[in-house]
Chain A
């Protein structure tokens, strides 16, 4: 996180705000609601309170403006700059301006007012831009599920560095952005994907192309906005150029950037899992045999992609057929005749023909740390 140079801050905790004018894009109460929620993300994690006033000069004045609006920072028409806000201080200090040339929404369409306002109010309180891509104070607008707008730990650390901890008995925490070279990095899921490797953690993917030495970290929603975060398993069926994503007893199918229509579907109907199976831990598909392996708790199933049904005599115990990798799997993919199993911070390189682990690696060995 970054604090605005000179550490400008409000000397009081109980701040006021006013809404000077309203965008015609939304109903008045939708604007009121979005602004109230946007302040609440900050009051939930700090000792600050925000009260809307309609008489007198508020600390933070909110307005919607076109182009040049006499503050030396003209807006630039649709897209580009969406809004800006001023650091704490009298008069224009703390004020937040929104570009009326944008289309302001209250749902997933561009641009969600709640999402942009929550960011701008960070500036109103003295925060600068953070280089943490998972932080609300990251400068670029990233699509996000409007029901999922939350401060990251980086944002919480920033605001508490200025105003101290929250008055809540239990200190609030936020999600952190996975760091590719973090030795404690673990994965929710992993898959190959058109020649690349993709690893999934909370809201994020870590993407490793053979042509890049470093991993790219970004939001899953950047590629697949309708996918949930917290993906639990993923596997590619290269022959069909699809990837299946699993969470709970549901799964989605994507091809490139498209989530195929009709999904999510239920794993029991399509794959024939018994009702006792309510989540998939990991999965991979063997493109040579056309078999897909699903790992659930200490057992695994084998599904025939051609016949579209589970093979007989399954499930079987993981330890029987994949000795050395432990009894449970977090994530798995197959690559060049080896299977890579991930469990916690460990990765097991498994040779299926000889049924043996040939190497135990760190979970982030693919990222050239």
Chain B
């Protein structure tokens, strides 16, 4: 496969993991890839982008992924 497909999947994993840990995303086993654009994920992603002062796109764009890959505190950004 072209490498970027793998990278794409990795990025989606990063997004899901980040939103579960810090933005109280409850996925009950649903994977992001299967439910592309599924509402809870998009809403949580928008909340994260708003919190970090990023462009609120609801999409895992480069700037968003860059922030998600930054070292950070383990306390969630929203209360659980």
Contact = CB atoms under 8 A, between A and B. Distances in A.
Specify whether A and B are partners.
Answer: yes
A81 B79 contact: no
Given A131-B52, A131-B53, A133-B53, A140 B71 contact: yes
A75, A85, A129 pick with most chain B CB within 10 angstroms: A129
B71 A110 contact: yes
Interface string A104-147: 00000011000010011001000011010100000111000000
A73 interface: yes
A73 B22 CA distance: 12
B70 A84 contact: no
A189 interface: no
A128 B51 CA distance: 13
Contacts of B70: 140-141
Nearest to B63: A216
A116 B50 CA distance: 24
Contacts of B51: 129, 131
A139 B79 contact: no
A77 B46 CA distance: 27
Interface residues of A, number: 26
B79 A4 contact: yes
Contacts of B30: none
A73 B74 contact: yes
Interface in B19-36: 21-22
A24 interface: no
B77 A139 contact: yes
Contacts of B55: 214
A84 B67 CA distance: 18
A78 to B, nearest CB: 9
B5 interface: no
A215 to B, nearest CB: 10
Interface string A70-91: 0001010001111111000000
A79 B72 CA distance: 8
A139 B73 contact: yes
Nearest to A131: B51
B3 interface: no
A84 B74 CA distance: 5
A128 B72 CA distance: 14
A101 to B, nearest CB: 12
Contact of B53 (A75, A128, A217): A217
Contacts of A73: 74
A20 interface: no
Contact of A128 (B50, B71, B75): B75
Contacts of A140: 52, 67, 70-72
Given A110-B71, A140-B72, A217-B53, A129 B77 contact: yes
B74 A81 contact: yes
A138 to B, nearest CB: 9
A79 B52 CA distance: 19
30 contacts: A4-B79, A5-B79, A79-B71, A80-B71, A80-B72, A81-B72, A81-B73, A81-B74, A82-B71, A82-B72, A82-B73, A82-B74, A111-B71, A119-B73, A120-B73, A123-B75, A128-B75, A128-B77, A129-B73, A129-B77, A131-B51, A133-B53, A139-B22, A139-B72, A139-B73, A139-B77, A140-B67, A140-B72, A141-B71, A217-B53
Given A111-B71, A131-B50, 12 more contacts: A73-B74, A80-B71, A80-B72, A81-B72, A82-B73, A110-B71, A116-B73, A129-B73, A129-B77, A131-B53, A139-B22, A141-B71
8 smallest beta-carbon distances between A and B, as pairs: A84-B74, A5-B79, A81-B74, A141-B71, A140-B70, A140-B72, A129-B77, A131-B51
